[in-house]
Structure formats: structure tokens, C-alpha cells
């Protein structure tokens, strides 16, 4: 009878470990030979900023990456809220300016024009018309002092 060839699992593990060890050594050599990023080259090699600043910057970069990785949902919500506010800000500002114009025009009409017989709704209507380019305000007689 022929004997079956048996393989020792420890030998297989050792071969795999040696192969991985050699691959990791090659990878580390590639990392060492890699060029510096352009911003590190410019700021810290050419200009000569202190190394402590580079260390702090790299730590901040690492923590920010981890924060972004862990809190994607809250960041997306935050940026959505900011984008919504930025989108609606001109509309809100325009409405505020129109309301301010109406208040100023209403106060001007009450102070300087003869408003006997004109109720508050009509004064508000005339002030709104004036702020939108109308000229009804000029039809009201001035007060005679």
C-alpha cells in the first residue's frame, strides 16, 4: 500500500508567515521611498516651519478624519441646515427691508401729510405702494404748519 502524503499545518503556517513578513518589508521600503506631500515639502522643508507644528497638524488631520468617519450623519445634517439658511437668507433680508421701508413710509405719511379721513389700513396700503415704486403718496396734501 502506498502511504498518503501528509502535510504539517505548522509548516504551512510558517511559510505563509514568512511570505507575509517579506511582503510587509517590501511595503515598508516603498513607504520610506515615497515622496513627501507637496504642502509638507513647501511649508516645512522649503519655508522651514517648526516640526511641532507639523505634528499638531497631522494629529488634527487624523482626529478630523476619525470625526468625519464616525459622525457622518450629524455632519450632513449640519451642512444641510447651513445650506438651507444660506439659500433663504436673501429672501429673508429682502422681506425685512420691505417691512422696514413700509414702516418708515407710514411714519413719514403720518408726520408730514394730512391724514384726516384716512384710516390705518389705507395708510399702510399707500406706504406699501410707495415702497414698491408707486406715487400715491404725492397725491396726499402736505400739512400746513
Is 111 in a helix, a strand, or coil? Answer: helix
Residues 41-55 have a mean pLDDT of 87
Give, in order, the Cα–Cα distances in Å from 37 to each of 43, 44, 48, 55, 121.
10, 11, 15, 14, 68
**Is the model's pLDDT at 2 over the cut of 80?**
no
35: left (phi over 0), alpha (psi -120 to 50) or beta: beta
**Is the model's pLDDT at 47 over the cut of 60?**
yes
Give, in order, the Cα–Cα distances in Å from 39 to each of 9, 48, 61, 119.
49, 12, 13, 69
pLDDT interval class at 16 (50, 70, 90) = low
Give, in order, the Cα–Cα distances in Å from 130 to each of 14, 119, 125, 143, 145.
90, 17, 9, 19, 24
Is 142 in a helix, a strand, or coil? Answer: strand
**Is the model's pLDDT at 4 over the cut of 70?**
no
d(CA 123, CA 127): 6
Q: Across the chain, what does the average pLDDT equal?
A: 82
Predicted local confidence at residue 15, as pLDDT? 64
Spell out the residues 6+ positions from residue 31 whose beta carbon is closer than 8 angstroms to its own.
none
Predicted local confidence at residue 27, as pLDDT? 59
**Is the model's pLDDT at 84 over the cut of 90?**
yes
Residues 74-99 have a mean pLDDT of 95
Amino acid at each position: 500500500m502506498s502511504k498518503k502524503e501528509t502535510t504539517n499545518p505548522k509548516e504551512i503556517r510558517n511559510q505563509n508567515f514568512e511570505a507575509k513578513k517579506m511582503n510587509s518589508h517590501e511595503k515598508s521600503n516603498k513607504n520610506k521611498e515615497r515622496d513627501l506631500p507637496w504642502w509638507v515639502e513647501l511649508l516645512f522643508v522649503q519655508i522651514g516651519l517648526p516640526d511641532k507644528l507639523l505634528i499638531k497638524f497631522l494629529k488634527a488631520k487624523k482626529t478630523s478624519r476619525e470625526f468625519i468617519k464616525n459622525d457622518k450623519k450629524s455632519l450632513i445634517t449640519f451642512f444641510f441646515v447651513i445650506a438651507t439658511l444660506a439659500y433663504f437668507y436673501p429672501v429673508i433680508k429682502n422681506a425685512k427691508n420691505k417691512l422696514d421701508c413700509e414702516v418708515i413710509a407710514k411714519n413719514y405719511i403720518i408726520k408730514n401729510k394730512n391724514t384726516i379721513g384716512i384710516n390705518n389700513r389705507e395708510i399702510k396700503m399707500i406706504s406699501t405702494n410707495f415702497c414698491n415704486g408707486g406715487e400715491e403718496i404725492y397725491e396726499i396734501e402736505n400739512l400746513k404748519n
